[in-house]
């Protein structure tokens, strides 16, 4: 079993970081960069995914961690929805949309898996490093 000692060890957080990086890269040029409302909102939503995973991990209990993971998953869904707007406005190509959407969907999948794991794990197994490390199968 692998031990998660820092939020940076969480695969879902690493994927969310990649999503934010991709969103920033695609939204910093052309018409996308000039659509301040959409650009800022999709950036905030992408940051929210990784931030809520990290914040939840640093909280004191499993239930609180799960709650933050739910928020993170919702933010990934928000990014996904906003990508449709970017596509419809011609700010990103269909190929860019597919790549970005895949990243958002993968983030949601990983977060959902972590939520399921935390809900199913025996209660004696703590959720955060504030008590003991989270363990998971490789």
Domains defined for the chain, CATH in brackets: 11-133 (1.20.1440.60)
pLDDT at 4: 85
Classify residue 9 by its DSSP letter. Answer: G
User: How large is the average pLDDT for residues 95-116?
Assistant: 98
pLDDT at 15: 98
Q: How confident is the model at residue 134 (pLDDT cuts 50, 70, 90)?
A: low
CA-closest candidate to residue 92, choices 20, 41, 45, 24: 24
15-63 confidence digits (pLDDT tens): 999 999 999 999 999 999 999 999 999 999 999 999 999 999 999 899 9
Classify residue 90 by its DSSP letter. Answer: T
pLDDT at 1: 39
Q: Which residues contact 98 (CB under 8 A, 6 or more apart)?
A: none
pLDDT at 124: 57
What is the C-alpha to C-alpha distance for residues 76 and 49, in angstroms, rounded to an integer? 6
pTM given for the model: 0.86
């Amino acid at each position: 079993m692998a031990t998660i000692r820092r939020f940076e060890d969480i695969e879902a957080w690493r994927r969310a970081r990649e999503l934010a990086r991709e969103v920033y890269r695609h939204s910093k040029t052309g018409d996308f960069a000039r659509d301040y409302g959409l650009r800022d909102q999709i950036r905030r939503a992408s940051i929210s995914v990784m931030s809520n995973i990290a914040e939840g991990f640093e909280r004191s209990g499993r239930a609180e961690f799960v709650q933050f993971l739910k928020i993170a998953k919702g933010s990934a869904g928000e990014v996904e929805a906003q990508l449709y707007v970017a596509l419809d406005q011609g700010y990103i190509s269909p190929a860019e949309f597919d790549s970005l959407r895949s990243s958002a969907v993968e983030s949601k999948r990983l977060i959902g898996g972590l939520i399921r794991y935390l809900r199913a794990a025996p209660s004696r197994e703590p959720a955060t490093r504030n008590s003991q490390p989270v363990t998971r199968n490789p």
